[in-house]
Structure formats: structure tokens, C-alpha cells
Amino acid sequence: MKGLILAIIDGLTPAMLEHGLEQGRLPALGLLHETGSYTQGTTTFPSVTPVCLTSIATGAHPDVHGIPHLVWYHREEERVVEYGSSFAAVRAAGARRSLRDSIYAMAHEHLSPDALTIFEALEDEGFDSGAINFTCYRGRTKHALKLPVLSGRNRWYEAAWGPRRFFFFNLYESDQTGAPLAIRSRPAGSIDAYAATIGRWLVTRDGFDFLVFYLPDYDYASHILGPERALEALERADASVGELMAAAGGPEEFLDRYAIVVCSDHGQTSVDRAASLAAPLADLSVFTGRRATSPAGADVVVTASNRSGMVYALDEQPARELAERFDGADGVDLTLFLEDGEAVARREREELRFAPENDGWRISGDERVLDPAEYPNGLERSWCALACPNAGEVIVSAAPGWEFEDLGGRHHAGGGSHGSLRAGDSMVPIIAAGFGERSPLPPDPSVTDLAPLALTHFGVEPPASMRARVRSGV
């Protein structure tokens, strides 16, 4: 049985992949594109990296896995969880707490125990899995922290549970591979280079059955430059994939040994303006989650990052009343909330109500509010975002060209961003090669189909948590 590699190029859009292929600047991806199949799929919502990578790992949307956003309010702990919107946001939320949340708690505490990861499912059946720099890494093998750790207060991350082959930004490394420091020069692609070194080491030793090969540096460049001007970073990602082929002896030998899926976790669009999501709530007491502050006495919590945000009602204010405050507000495209057992999507004061029914949807109102051409798979993704137990009462999606300021007041205006329900942030390219004549992907694929695909490749029945995807059949 062939091994399987899932290579994820963070933030890659279909348009940029196709442009790079047309220019002949992506030799490794070009070969896979030519010999395999190519399609476009949708990601989850909100379309930000922690949510998307968790959906890839669990084959489920946020309603199942529980990760609602890049930044969110923890109701039980009465604090804001900030995974790393920006350095300023991390400092504002508390650096030590944010590091713990992003490195350890996301995978071990915030991820629902009912959402089986691809690593757990495969290792339970005796297959060796691996992950490089992948945030949703929960597996069955305990790994000690590689770097020296002070005793006492930092003991929380002395060990993590991951796949057998586990490499996470030099912090956790299951094997000595000779890889350099990962975070030494992000503009030059140092994290992708770190992944390439480890990937080459693993392929040379045939050291896995399944491997997640995560390349985040294109997204970093795209945020700074804009998605249309980050082709050089994409070339470096292509070279990292090429390293895997070279380690196997060349493309033909590589595809004899491995099947591979290359995809993105989300899209990205250009932004030139930024807005404060808290501005329409100025007459309320708003808790933002800054360290050393308390939500006591606050009316609402506002969490925002990139091109989406959430509002949590602390005083039982109706979600509708909160959502209506955003009508006509700067940067706001649409709001989503639950009411009387249905989801409501509100845009330009028009509404669409919907809820799952049998194998499809019960719908009433203006269907143009979630036009599938502008909001692909919008019903499923909106419903599952609202049904996440950690989501706010109102979810806000940004208008084209706009981004919401994060907790530190930072934004990517002048560059690129993602997170909204719109197509540019939501469509992802998917290349599959080494599977034979037929594509392993279903029609209109979602990133939630990737974990079931991998399990099926190894003859493992996907668990119920991965079969819970709601499909829009009407």
C-alpha cells in the first residue's frame, strides 16, 4: 500500500496556483498537476488557519471540533483566547497565556475530545503518521519538549501528545534530522525550509505511512504583500514539495511510493481598509480581553481578527438586536445568528433563514443573501460555525477590501487577509496525484473531506465525527 502525504500550502488561492503554473514557475506542483487531478474546494468558516487546519485534521466543521476562530471568548474561564493574530494582539491578551493556548491548549484542551483526529484514527489501526508544524496535532504518542524548560510555571508544555513522527517548530521533535531553526527568517521562507529538511529525512527513510507536510510561509508573504504579489514565496513552497520528490529518487519514483494531495487551508484577498468591530457597540460596555481586565459588568465581548469576528452577549441581549447594530457599519458584509432554532444570515437589511432538514435545507427569505456564487457552500459553513459551542451569539463577516482590527489594533491593510464567508477567502485549490485513474475526491469537495479520504486510502472506516458533514442538497 502506498504511503500518503497531505501537503498544505497555507493561504494559497486557486488563482495564484494557476498563475504560477501558467508561468512555468512551479515545476513540482506542475508535475503533480499534469499527472494527477485538479479541482477547487471550499474551506470551513471562519476561514482562518486554526479553524481550517482543525477541520482538515478532524474531517469536521467547528460544530464538531469546537475551535471557533483565531480569537474567541472562553465562557467557562471568562477570558479571551488569542492564538496569535499579531504580536501586538498576543501582548495585549498576555504573551504567556497566548503561547500556551496556541502551542498546547488548542490541541489538548480546546479541541473537542469527540472529534477524532486523523493521527489518532490511523495510529489506532497500527499505521505510522507524522506531522510537521501542524497546529491540530493531537495523537497517541507522548513527546517531550526539546528545548530546556524552567521548572514550575512552564511545566504545562514539557510534553505533548502527537503523532509518532512529530515536529513542531523545533519545540517538539521526535527525531534528530539536522533541520535548522524554523523561525529564523520568515521573509526568506525559513519555516518551509525547515519542513523540507525534515520531509526529505522522512522520505529517505520511508519513515511514515501518512504525513501532514504544512508550509505556512506563503500565507505570511501574502499577508504582507497581497496574494497577487507573493509568487516568489509560492516558488519556495514548490521547492519544498520538490525536496520530497528528490528524496524518493525523482518524481516517478516518488509517485510509485506515495500518493499526495496538495491543497490550501483557506484563500486570501486583498484588503486596503480596516474597521473596529466594537465601534457599532460603543454605547455598551465591551470586554475586549486585554490582560489584567475582567468581563464583570460588561454587556458584550467582541473578538475580531482578519476578516471575521464574533460578539458574545453577556447580559442575555437578543442576538438579533446585536446583529442589527451592524447594519451599514464600516467593513461589515453580513451577520449571522441563531433564532428560534434557525440560522439567520442578514445582509443589507435583507434576511435568509435556514436550518438542516433531512438531507438538505429548510429555507425562507431572500436566497440572494447567501448567493452560492459569492458564498460557496454558505449554508453548511454558516450553520456549523454558529453551532460551535464556543462561537459568539453573532458572527460577522467582512466586506470585500475590509479587515477588522485585532486586539492589538493591528491589521493587514495594504496586503492580504482572509476569514470571511466570501469566495475569495473560502475557495482552495486541490491537486491529487498517485491515486490512479480516478480522483479520490467527491464532487464539490470540502477540506472536511480530506481526513476521510486519508482513512479510506488506508482501508480505515471514518468515525462518526467525520461523517457528520451537513450537505446542502436543495
Measured between alpha carbons, how far is 181 from 164 in angstroms, rounded to an integer? 21
Question: How does pLDDT run across 249-294, given as a tens digit for each residue?
Answer: 999 999 999 999 999 999 999 999 999 999 999 999 999 999 999 9
State residue 152's pLDDT score: 47
- Return mean pLDDT, the chain: 95
Question: How does pLDDT run across 126-180, given as a tens digit for each residue?
Answer: 999 999 999 999 999 999 988 655 544 556 567 899 999 999 999 999 999 999 8
Local structure of 251: helix, strand or coil: helix
State residue 7's pLDDT score: 98
Measured between alpha carbons, how far is 83 from 105 in angstroms, rounded to an integer? 10
User: Can you tell me the mean pLDDT for 109-117?
Assistant: 97
Enumerate residues 6+ apart whose C-beta is below 8 A from 272. 401, 413, 414
Question: How does pLDDT run across 346-366, given as a tens digit for each residue?
Answer: 999 999 999 999 989 999 999
Measured between alpha carbons, how far is 471 from 474 in angstroms, rounded to an integer? 9
- Cβ-contact 419, 50 below 8 angstroms: no
Enumerate residues 6+ apart whose C-beta is below 8 A from 344. 320, 323, 336, 337, 338, 351, 352, 353
| Residue 181 CB neighbour total at 10 angstroms | 12
Which residue is it, cell 508544524? 133
Percent of the chain having pLDDT more than 70?
A: 96
Measured between alpha carbons, how far is 229 from 222 in angstroms, rounded to an integer? 7
User: What is this structure's pTM?
Assistant: 0.96
State residue 185's pLDDT score: 81
Give the angle 372-39-435 at the CA atoms, nearest 5°. Answer: 140
Length of the chain: 474
Check whether 316 has a pLDDT greater than 90.
no
Local structure of 352: helix, strand or coil: strand
Question: How does pLDDT run across 13-26, given as a tens digit for each residue?
Answer: 999 999 999 999 99
Which residue is it, cell 434576511? 351
DSSP 8-class letter at 446: B
State residue 471's pLDDT score: 40
Measured between alpha carbons, how far is 337 from 323 in angstroms, rounded to an integer? 7
